Structure 1
Amino acid sequence: MFYYILFLLIILLWTWINRLFMPSLYSTTSDSIQPEVAVLVPLRNEEKHVPALLESLSQLSYPNLSFYFLNDGSTDQTLSLLTKHVKQLKKAHIINGETLPAGWVGKVHACHQLSQHAYGSFFLFIDADIRLNSDTIERCLHLMIEKRVGLLTGFPRFPTKTILSKILVPMQHVVVLLHLPLFVANHFSNPAFTAAHGSFMFFSKKAYEDSGGHQAVKNSLVEDVHLTRLVKKSGHKVCLANITRAVTCFMYETNQEVWNGFSKNIFPGLGRSVSLVLLITLFYISVFLVPCFLLFYGLITGTILYCLPLILTFLIRLVIDQFTKQERWTWLLMPISCLMLLVIMYYSMYLGLRKKGFEWKGRRYQ
């Protein structure tokens, strides 16, 4: 028991230290140099997000912005709502997307088309469910210029509505801060140490073009990670930042969307590696599920020491949740979150190995 508690203490210390190497976006005074930034938004059946998205973008304080919206074959009111509300913005352009060619993933093709229409020294790709604070652009540019970064990305704050989203969506922060050595990821060019969130990808135009852009990852279901690796390989620096103070993502509206989204991304995100799935299973059971059984044993036998491992696992999650501005009580769900993550990981692996394909927004991919 002593060595197991020591093991959990080391993980807690690692998590606390690791977060120190993820820079935050702090408020800053306006710089004298204000390069043009193109904000690029692909949309497919996003009618529920369009009004709030455009309201958020209209509040941005950065003066040198242009906006590009691509309607990717929407069958709802996305296009009409765009046309109605886009008047709030200056220098806004609506693009009707082309038919999806064979060999392309829908969102990747939409982003590629956006990049071909956009002008500016920087390209900010965001999803329709993103909301930006008014000074987000200034904060990002200040960090990018200061650290000479070619790509700034990060995991937003995730307000959650449904029970499955509360259980699973904040686990994205857990996975990054628990597994990725951020000092290595943010200071070295090794593409193996890479994470990104496709809902917020802020490129310098040169880094985007040097990497090959979305065309270079046209058939990827985890194009954010693969494109980030290409940015590193092309010689540009990548910064994975804590953007939760400036960027909010209303990621999934229903439990079904949560299930489909995670099952689409997990196994491809692990490189379709069965051995990695098994290794992750062993780690999560050891760190987050075994303490539940030890607590039960400790309560039965009256051995208080057996309650300590669960307290430590809760502290690991609490450190992450406080740093990433998640709801204050979701750390209590950690054992359930871990179990559900394993379940959906194995479902994602089943879909991948059996060639069932992954479904997202009415399209099916292998």
Structure 2
Amino acid sequence: MTGPLVALLVVAALTAHTVVNAGRWLRRPTDGPVECAERVVVLLPLRDEATRVTPCLRALLAQRGVPRLRVLVLDDGSTDGTADVVRAVVADDPRVTLLTGAAPPPGWLGKPHACWQLASRTEASADALVFVDADVVLGRYAVAAAVTELRAAGATLLSPYPRIVVRTVADRLVQPLLQWLWLTFLPLRAMERSARPSLAAAGGQFLVVDRAGYLRAGGHAAVADRVLEDVELARAVKRAGGRIALADGSRLASCRMYDSWPQLRDGYTKSLWASFGHPTAAALVVTVLLLLYTVPALVAVVALLAGAPLLAGVAFLAYLVGVAGRVVSARATGGRAWPDALSHPVSVAVLGWLTLRSYHLRKRRRLSWRGRPVG
């Protein structure tokens, strides 16, 4: 009885923290018409995105409220005709410049190098920079609203998390964990106020930075070899004396991160090891997550079959409180709550397996992404 009761109390506290984060501290930029008079440059790195980049580009061309907007696009060694698609979509729009990227030099990973090539161009001279991935589709006033929120927060870096589009069973099991994890375990108010680099989070799909503060932090050159370049950039900003903030960007942007289970599996596998650092830390965190969110559901079933209704009831209540936290997270970030939240114990188990796979493949030096080695 002690184990399920402890799990219930801890999960209840964490779910309460999720409620406070989502209801009180999570920033929510307006999705209505807003005007931004600043010079803003959107930076879009592309590598083999011919089949996905068109909606992203069209959304960028349709931006409103930012009269001084420019868009820099970098073709990062694509072999699928990505550059041709870009030319066809943007036509002769004077706001868009298409660049050809260079291969990353030793010590650089592909994504940080592509971002740094864009940010260090003279054409990127602006008040604010907006990094966007090819799988992100922005709302009409998304750029203006995000830059406005950056200034309102008094931050150097703002990460407005897009609404994650889910279509498959694998999506529904894994993708909602992104927002759930930071809403549940990261104290948002303390993160904004604290200068500690370890207290940081960010999502590179849609990232807004003050250009001067970005350069003071060293930009992506400061995170050249980091798999989680977005989180590490946020930490670099803090080290340079800047502030960071998170926001619910679900009303500003949507993102379909992966098209298939193999893509999703490999995408998480390449970076999970970097999320935890040392394998011992990963093992500890995963074990705690399983004990809190997966084991209670199993105990409830076994106890009920064994004729221990009280134990089954406590364990089942722990499971339900965990599901409640997942529901709160989904509703706060534009996600799908029902019935996906009911499978939360399975989601956490899949996360544990992906983490194990990540460390295993890294040890064997078999991690790669888009044809380039990582880790």
Normalising by the smaller structure, the TM-score range is: over 0.9
* C-alpha contact 1:28 1:142 (8 A) present in aligned 2: no
Cα distance in 2 for residues equivalent to 1:28 and 1:53 = 20
Q: CA deviation at 1:199?
A: 1.1
> What is the aligned-residue RMSD (CA, Å)?
1.7
Equivalence for 1:339: 349
Report how far residue 27 of structure 1 moved: 3.8
The whole-number CA distance in structure 1 between the counterparts of 2:241 and 2:181 is: 26
Contact 1:191 1:232 in 2 (8 A): yes
User: After superposition, where does 1:15-34 map in structure 2 within 5 Å?
Assistant: 15-19=18-22, 20-27=24-31, 30-31=34-35, 34=37
Write the letter of the residue equivalent to 2:297.
Answer: C
Q: 1:88 to 1:171 in 2, by over 3 A?
A: farther
1:113 aligns with 2:123: no
Q: Structure 1: how far apart are the matches of 2:92 and 2:171?
A: 32
Q: Counterpart of 1:69?
A: 73
- Structure 2 residue matching 1:242: 3-state secondary structure: strand
Superposed CA offset, 1:180-218 (max 9, x none): 111111122111100111111111111110000111111
From 326, 351, 358, give the equivalent of 2:335.
326
Alignment of 1:263-274 (within 5 A): 263-271=269-277, 273-274=278-279
Answering whether residue 317 of structure 2 is matched by residue 314 of structure 1, we say no
SS for the counterpart of 1:12 is helix
- When the two structures are aligned, how many residues end up with a matched partner? 363
Q: CA deviation at 1:165?
A: 2.1
| 1:28–1:138 CA contact under 8 A, matched in 2 | no
Match of 1:60 in 2: 63
Residue 285 of structure 2 is matched in structure 1 by 280
Once residues 317 and 374 of structure 2 are traced to their aligned partners in structure 1, the CA distance between those partners, rounded to angstroms, is 45
Contact 1:58 1:88 in 2 (8 A): no
Task: Answer yes or no: is the 8 Å Cα contact 2:49–2:134 preserved in 1.
Answer: yes
Return the offset for 1:88.
7.3
- Which residue type is aligned with residue 25 of structure 1? P
Inter-partner Cα distance in structure 2 for 1:50 and 1:349? 31
Task: Confirm or deny that 1:42 pairs with 2:45.
Answer: yes
Determine the C-alpha separation between the residues in 2 that align with 1:191 and 1:36. 28
Question: In the aligned structure 2, how far is the partner of 1:28 from the partner of 1:46?
Answer: 30
User: 2:208 maps to what in 1?
Assistant: 202
Matched, 1:232 2:242: no
In structure 1, distance between residues paired with 2:146 and 2:59: 16
Is the 8 Å Cα contact of residues 55 and 88 (structure 1) preserved in structure 2? no
- What is the DSSP-based 3-state SS (H/G/I as helix, E as strand, rest coil) of the residue aligned with 2:162? coil
Q: What is aligned with 2:369?
A: 360
Task: Say whether 1:253 aligns with 2:259.
Answer: yes
**Quick one: which of 73, 78, 87 aligns to 1:83?**
87
Decide whether the 8 Å contact of 2:11 with 2:321 is kept in 1.
Answer: yes
1:93-242 → structure 2 map (5 Å cutoff): 93-117=97-121, 118-242=124-248
Q: Which stretches in structure 2 are left out of the alignment for 5+ residues?
A: none
SS of alignment partner, residue 208 of structure 2? strand
- What is the CA-CA distance between 1:328 and the residue it aligns to? 2.9
Indicate how the Cα distance of structure 1 residues 16 and 89 shifts in structure 2: closer, same or farther if over 3 A, else same: farther
CA distance in 1, matches of 2:322, 2:34: 42
Deviation at 1:132, TM superposition (A): 0.6
Q: Hey, what's the Cα distance between the residues in 2 that align with 1:50 and 1:281? A: 35
Amino acid at match of 1:340: V
Preserved CA contact (<8 Å) 1:196 1:228: yes
Q: Could you tell me the TM-score, scaled by structure 2's length? A: 0.92
Deviations 1:271-325 (A, max 9, x none): 2x12211221221112111111232035322726242222111111111111111
1:7-33 alpha-carbon deviations (Å, 9 max, x no partner): 3222221211122222111246645x6
**Aligned to 2:98, what secondary structure does the other structure show?**
strand
Q: Tell me the equivalent position of 1:9.
A: 12
Question: In percent, how many aligned pairs have the same letter?
Answer: 27
For 1:287, what is the secondary structure of its paired residue?
Answer: helix
Once the two structures are overlaid, the 10-residue window that deviates more, 281-290 or 126-135, is 281-290
Runs of 4+ that moved beyond 6 A: none
Distance 1:137 1:69 in 2: 16
Q: What runs of 5+ residues in structure 1 fail to find an aligned partner?
A: none
Cα distance between partner residues in 1 of 2:356 and 2:199: 23
